[in-house]
Structure 1
Amino acid sequence: MTTIAEFLAAANVQIAPVEPGAAGAPAVTIELPEEWQAVDRSVFPGAYGVWTLPPAGGWADNVVLLVGRFSKPADAQELLACAFTDARALPKWREIVADIAEFEGYPSADVVGTYSLETLDLWVHTRYVVVVAGTEEYLVQITVTAKADHENVDSDLLNNLVIRA
């Protein structure tokens, strides 16, 4: 199966990172509990936002938000059909949810599962949303990654994502 990056390359669609407050771009926010701390954007160039819980045992549960503008329109349904490929390639991937459905009225794909990375067993929830703002198309991707027990994190975090085009 094709990844999102492969799909965009085959369609000759480039994607450029968008910063918060960019003119014409959708405003994307997420309300997180107060124990989540914003990471300085200079640490993750190209990210719209990154937040972590305090580190424990060499790991910090994290939320990464990316917003990218397409160079030209892309077929949202075909693109979202590719959303699960990257996750399914992760080591020892165990899928819990793989769904394509609207989110806040926008085409969206949702994938939840667990995988192993070296000595860590991790739980991940990623949502992809295709947004039209004015004449431009954007891809919003938000990923929550936590230790597999994810006792301090759950999928409800992503329900706090708000997109205003």
Structure 2
Amino acid sequence: MDEKISLLASTITAPRIIINDALDDALKVLDERLEMLSSALAVEYVGPGVGMRDMAAEHVYRLVVRYHLWDTTRSGWGLKVCDALPNGMMRPMWPIYGVGRLRKQQLIRALPDFFQGYLEAVEAAGKDQEPAGRALYALAEDLSCLSAGAV
């Protein structure tokens, strides 16, 4: 297992999340892997909210896998933090490594739920046995994001 993924795995289960450059680098590696896998799978998924705990609208921003249009020059499949308000149309707001410190803690805590749901969506699309589907499952396993009896 990659050392950055290992760091991220230990952070997910840690009682306290320490935000630093190493964690940002680990999130960039995860972002790159999910970009590659989601591009191969082409399965959309709207995941858990990553709002602030004390906000009434905790699900204003959500983890979303789909074909994102950043601007007129950048687009593609990947996982982004998106505006989930009805008029937001799941517009990508930040890459997962680009959110602020407090939201980053929420994002990391949400990764197990994200992977559970995304794996279920990939399975429902019949793509879980494709190479990218198996690689996604292995990544979730490396991150300790699978619960007993998961997908």
How does the TM-score come out when normalised to structure 2?
0.28
Bigger strand share: 1
How does the TM-score come out when normalised to structure 1?
0.27
Bigger helix share: 2
Structure of greater Rg: 1
